[in-house]
Structure formats: C-alpha cells, structure tokens
Structure 1
Amino acid sequence: MASFEEDVMKKAGRSSFWETVRTVIYAVLIAIVIRTTLFEPFNIPSESMRPTLEVGDYLFVSKYSYGYSRYSIPLGLPLFEGRIIENAPERGDVVVFRKPSEPNVDYIKRIVGLPGDKIQVTGGVLIVNGTPVKRERIEDYIEAFPGGGVRRIEQFRETLPSGKTYITFNLTDANTLDNTGVYEVPAGHYFAMGDNRDNSIDSRVNPKENGVGFIPAENLIGRAEVIFFSTDGTAGLFEPWKWFGAIRYGRLLQVIR
C-alpha cells in the first residue's frame, strides 16, 4: 500500500504536469493572438525589393495597419469575407500580401497605385495619372562578389506625389517591363512594384503569365515596419552558432521606408 507521502508526491507530480500543459497552451494562444492582430515576422527570400530589402532580412509586419481579412488568420481560414476595421494603404507603403493567383504564397512589394489610378511605365519612368514620378539619379550601388570583383548598379531616388521617397535599382531602360501600357486600377484593388525594377515579378505582369496583376484589398496582410534581424545568407535566424560574421549589423532595427 502506498504511503501518504507517496500519494502526495504523485498528486503533486500530476498537478505540475498539467500546470506545464496549461502554461504551454496559454503561451501558444497568446502567440496566435499577437501574430493575428498585431505583428507577424517575415523573411525576405528574393532580390525584388533591393536595395530597400535584402535577401536574409527578417522583418516585422504590422497586421493592424490595414484592418483584417481572412489572410490575417493563420492558414487563411475563410471565417469571413472582405476586411474588417479597414484602413486603406498609402501610396509608397511596403506591403506583404497574398499573391492573387496563388493565395498560399506571400509577396512583398511597394504600393504605387491606388484604386482609380492610371499607372504606366515608359523608359523606366513610373507615371501616375499622367504625371511622371520625380526620378533623381544618385550614386551607383557597389556590389562586391565573394570571389572578388564588383558590379555597379544604377540607383534612382523616386519621390511619389505623396512625398514618399525611396531608392530603386535600375539595370536597363529597355526591359519589357520598362515600357508598358496603361493600367487602370479597379476599385478595391492596388498596384504594386518591386524597388528592383528590372528584377521583380509584380503588378506589371499578368497573372496568366505567373505575375501578380492587381492586388485585391482582401489579400493585404500588413505593412512592413522594421528589420529586426539580418544575415548575409550564410546563417539563419535559428542558427546562432553561425551568426558570428554573418549578421549585417548595419541593417538591424532599420525602419522600412
């Protein structure tokens, strides 16, 4: 027969186990609420937003900036349609959204066209509602290769009608995406482009050609806010033993503009 002390110890052990389970459940629920309503982390896998965002950047996206849609919820569960507590993005915002033709794929681009806008690119110059966006040539970006050698990339400072300013890369003015027709943004949709203008699949590319096309408001996930971690690609967020020499310290806590 078990002693009184053994019974007490068993009960204490069971109580401690369930306390641990409850703590883990609460932690998971809190994380889900924060991820759904406040901030969600994303990492940059491609070069389409260079030089603003580099491959290896990890950033926080504010989920509350534009309100909430089904894509605010983990797994994109269709619990409701449209957006609630909706706030419209501003021209120039860097946004994360679900690709309209592949709603399980996250994209990040810069909003340059709002509902009703007419957007065109001519000779590499962005034109909004018939007016060319101010485009100022600045110093080249010098890209060094690991094995030696460098590449010079043209950079321009663009200033949208709203006054929002950012830097774009330009490899050529003769790309097919440097000379387009006029895109008229439908109601409830947005037009987005990558800052790396000659290396971005964005709203200039038809969804039938694996492009983005116009972005429905429902597909917006949130606004990119700040880079909280960045490596040169030789180490991941969960590989701290590789961080030494891989972290790009100059990019940490950089506000995304």
Structure 2
Amino acid sequence: MAVDIRQRANGREILLVTHKGNWGDALIINGARNFLRWHGFRFREVYGARGIGRQLDMTLSAQPPRDFFPVFTAGGSISRLYGHVEKLRKATHAYRGGVILSATCGLPYDSIDLHPETSLWLRDRGESAKNHPMGNFCHDMAFFTSARRFPKLRNLGIFMRNDLERPDAASREGLDLSALGNDRTPVWPFFAIVGSHREIKTNRLHIAVASAICGVPCSLLPGATNKISDVYKASLSSYSSKVALSNY
C-alpha cells in the first residue's frame, strides 16, 4: 500500500483526510498516522467531516491538487448506514484520484463513483472483495499501533454496541465503550480500559483489536453486517489466538 501511495503521489505531499467516527475509529486514524510516518511520508491532516464536506473549497485552496495527494481513512463508513461516501466521491473527483486506506467496501464499487484514479484498499476478503473484486488487501489500520500491557485489575469487561450496527439478537448489557469517545479522542485511555480486564466480551471490532494488541482474551460477537466476521477471518484470527469469534 505504501508503494501505491508513493507512486500515485509522485512527489506531492500527502494530505491525510480522516473520517468521522467513534472512539474505535480513533485507533484507525492513529494507525494511519503511524503507517505514514513509518514509511517516511510528509503529511498534513484534514478532518474529513469538514475538510471534504462543507469546506471542500477551502481545503482545495489551502492544499491544491498540484501540491497535495489525498489519502483517506474510511474504516466501515463506505456503507448505506453512513454519509461519508458522498464526501469521498466529491473529494476524489476534486483531487483527480487518491488512496483510501484499508476499509470495508459495503457497497458495489461501481455505485460509489469514485474518480477512476482512486485506489481503494480492502481490510477483508469477504463482502468487500465481492463488492470490489479488483481491490487489493491490507490489514485494518488499527493494527499499525501498539500499547503497553496493563495490570489486570478487572475481571470480565462487557462492551456492547448500541448504534446502527447493533444486531437484533444483541443484548444491551455492559457499556458501549466506543461511544464514549470520537475519532479525535486520544487512544491510550481506550487501550488502558480494555487492557485492564482479564477477559472481554464485545461486538465492537476495535475493542477486539485493542484486546488482541493488549493480550486480553476476547469473545467477539457479530454485528448487523458482515464486517466483524470478515475482518476476523482476514486479520484477527491469525494476529491473536486470544480473540475468538462467538455467537449470541
């Protein structure tokens, strides 16, 4: 993926355009920053909810396409459930291309109507690959981060989602930890909370990712879409033996 970005940028500075989301999305964005730094990219960051939304013209003026190449985070936002797709469409056409870092493609690729010079990387080989058969694979960007091991002060932590992706079978027990922060909240408290438990039960993908990074056993339950099971099969199952896909 780094080679793809470098070739397409062709010497231009990277404009990292982040997506709006919950605390788990902050892990994706943090991992994206780490990825770019690791590979030696110079970059500026724009908050996508504004920068490629109502302030797209201002972004184009301050970071023009002749000098900047956009790299987008998206996570699970390429979906009918969220409004990020239209922003991506407008931005890729305005910049005449771009790279979307490993994301779930929850819509048929042709229906998204991105600029033809856009490269969308996939974080799973399931539904995303069916929707975008020509897409390349790269692990979820949240894996490009690390956290120290924390003292195990609590027993079972139950963190269940209570949003658009909550399946009908899911209970409302526990705490929706990811909803307590957003995409710009520092990630270390997230890891500290997850890492302080001896065991985790969740249907939040990035709580399971944090569990794997912190070495905490995790029972991962499915959501309303295939996102969790697909990313589990593509990454989590091989990354950590401590995370197991379960059922309600």
Q: TM-score, normalised by structure 2?
A: 0.25
- Bigger share in strand: 1
Larger Rg: 1
- Bigger share in helix: 2
Q: Which has the higher contact order (CA 8 A, sep 6+)?
A: 1
Q: TM-score, normalised by structure 1?
A: 0.24
